[in-house]
Amino acid sequence: MTLTAPSTYKALTEQEAIRLAQSLDVFASSATLQCEEIGDGNLNYVFRITDSATGHGLIIKQALPYAKVVGESWPLTLHRATIEANALKLHGSLAKGRVPEVYATDAALAVTVMEDLSQLTILRNGLIDGKHYPKLAEHIGSYLAHTLFHTSDFGLHPFEKKRLAAEFSNPELCKITEDLIFTDPFFDHDTNDFEEPLREAAQAIWDNEPLKFEVAKLKRSFLTEAEALLHGDLHTGSIFVDEDDTKVIDPEFAFYGPIGFDIGLFLANLIVQAITRSGEERELIVQDITQTWQVFEQQFSGLWESDGIETYKTTTGYREYAIEKIFHDAIGFAGCELIRRTIGLAHVRDLDDIADESTRIDRKRQTLKAGETLIQTRREYQSIKQLETAIKELSK
């Protein structure tokens, strides 16, 4: 499908979004279309266009040429819209049903027209409301296995892999991650944001040289290891769910990076939930963590057998080595995510919305502690069951 659109960038109005939707072969020409802007306005416009008669709709997402965070505004490449649309299309072709369908794109307008997922809930919101999603672990484990295996050298010809690595070069958005996940929270940096009672814990992190040495290694991995085409920002706010369905959205941070990064970010956001829950509710989340890894490992191993193109794929120990590296990387990256979501620039509602101050500070201290532990002990875990035991202990 092609869009009838101006050839230079301008931020769309709701009326222009409707006209843009009308130019596609989606709605009847007689349809009365309604438009609602449902984005948070910090990075993107998200217009939902609905046919009033049928209720049928679509999403027009437009990147804004700046990012707004805590009142500050800085320029941010519009190219991220192209990265996001291309990652949605590629990952969608590899992990069927796990990604919204893309109907049309326009690079100049930084616009992606895609499937409306309004019937689903943002996973983070559902989890904060105490929900549990029985298909989540299976769906995300499978999404991770398929998208990461098939874009890695284990499953993709090196010509195509290197073409994709160059196409998905994403310096500006990678820099955000480099700074906000791997650097600033580990130094007394002015982007950090935390409640005063956490200062002592933050200072302890800044003073912890062995911890920072491990984070330096993880950052180096993020900077240099072009293993697979990552989503790049796979937290629970990037996933739509209901009882039966799971869709991964917003891959604007997509780039070629270490496989464990996507896994680690997802697991970290579940660990935050484990920390804020108790009893059986916590147990369900811990089981999701275990099952996500198990599904990933099983399907990644299966693809290695069935679709692997690496000549060394049957060399004794190599598959186990590759998977163990992913496992240990994921645990380390999860630790970084836990720390940055607590004292870094970008927080999570799971923790910030805990009303009682004493409980909130306790949970945040626990999150920091869990992060430090996972980073420093990541290579000691020999199985997901060992990690599960540790997470249960850390989230108690």
Q: How many CA atoms lie within 13 A of 212 on its CB side?
A: 14
User: Is 278 exposed, middle or buried, given 0-12, 13-18 or 19+ CB atoms closer than 10 A?
Assistant: exposed
Helix (H, G, I), strand (E, B) or coil at 114: strand
- Cα–Cα distance measured from residue 364 to residue 373, given in angstroms and rounded to the nearest whole number: 14
Q: How far is the CB of 313 from its own copies (least distance, A)?
A: 9
Round to the nearest angstrom and report the end-to-end CA distance of the chain: 52
Q: Does 158 bind its own copies (CB under 8 A)?
A: yes
Q: Which region among 31-39, 89-97, 141-149, 162-170 touches its own copies (by CB under 8 A)?
A: 162-170
Q: How far is the CB of 77 from its own copies (least distance, A)?
A: 10
Whole-angstrom CA distances from 296 to 9, 139, 224, 327 are 40, 10, 23, 10
Q: Which region among 93-101, 114-122, 208-216, 342-350 touches its own copies (by CB under 8 A)?
A: 208-216
Q: Does 153 bind its own copies (CB under 8 A)?
A: yes
Question: Across the strands, what pairs with 240?
Answer: 122, 247
Q: Which region among 163-171, 268-276, 301-309, 349-357 touches its own copies (by CB under 8 A)?
A: 163-171
Helix (H, G, I), strand (E, B) or coil at 115: strand
Beta-carbon neighbour count of residue 180 at 10 Å?
A: 18
* Cβ proximity to its own copies, 19 vs 189, nearer residue: 189
Q: Among residues 7, 8, 29, 316, which is the contact residue for its own copies, using CB under 8 A?
A: 316
Residue 340 marked as a ligand binder: yes
Q: What is the DSSP string of 11-25?
A: PPPHHHHHHHHHTST
* Cβ proximity to its own copies, 40 vs 209, nearer residue: 209
Q: Does 323 bind its own copies (CB under 8 A)?
A: no
Q: Scan residues 62-101 and list those touching its own copies (CB under 8 A).
A: none
Q: Which helix (H) or strand (E) holds 205?
A: helix 199-206
- Cα–Cα distance measured from residue 353 to residue 374, given in angstroms and rounded to the nearest whole number: 24
Residues 6+ apart with CB under 8 A from 343: 185, 192, 193, 194, 198, 201, 202, 205, 368
Written as six digits, the tokens of 6 are: 């101006």
Residue 116 marked as a ligand binder: yes
Q: How far is the CB of 184 from its own copies (least distance, A)?
A: 9
Q: Among residues 178, 307, 324, 388, which is the contact residue for its own copies, using CB under 8 A?
A: 178
Residue 61 marked as a ligand binder: yes
Cα 73–Cα 76–Cα 81 angle in degrees, nearest 5: 130
Residue 233 marked as a ligand binder: yes
Residue 117 marked as a ligand binder: yes
* Cβ proximity to its own copies, 227 vs 233, nearer residue: 227
Site residue total, its own copies (CB under 8 A): 39
Q: Does 226 bind its own copies (CB under 8 A)?
A: yes
- Cα–Cα distance measured from residue 162 to residue 146, given in angstroms and rounded to the nearest whole number: 18
* Cβ proximity to its own copies, 71 vs 317, nearer residue: 317
Provide the annotated binding site.
Answer: 44, 61, 115-117, 233, 250-252, 340
Which residues bind to its own copies, rule: CB under 8 A? 153, 158-159, 162-163, 165-166, 169-172, 174-175, 178, 183, 187, 209-210, 212-213, 215-217, 219-220, 223-227, 310-312, 315-318, 321-322
Provide the annotated binding site for ATP.
Answer: 44, 61, 115-117, 250-252
Provide the annotated binding site for substrate.
Answer: 233, 340
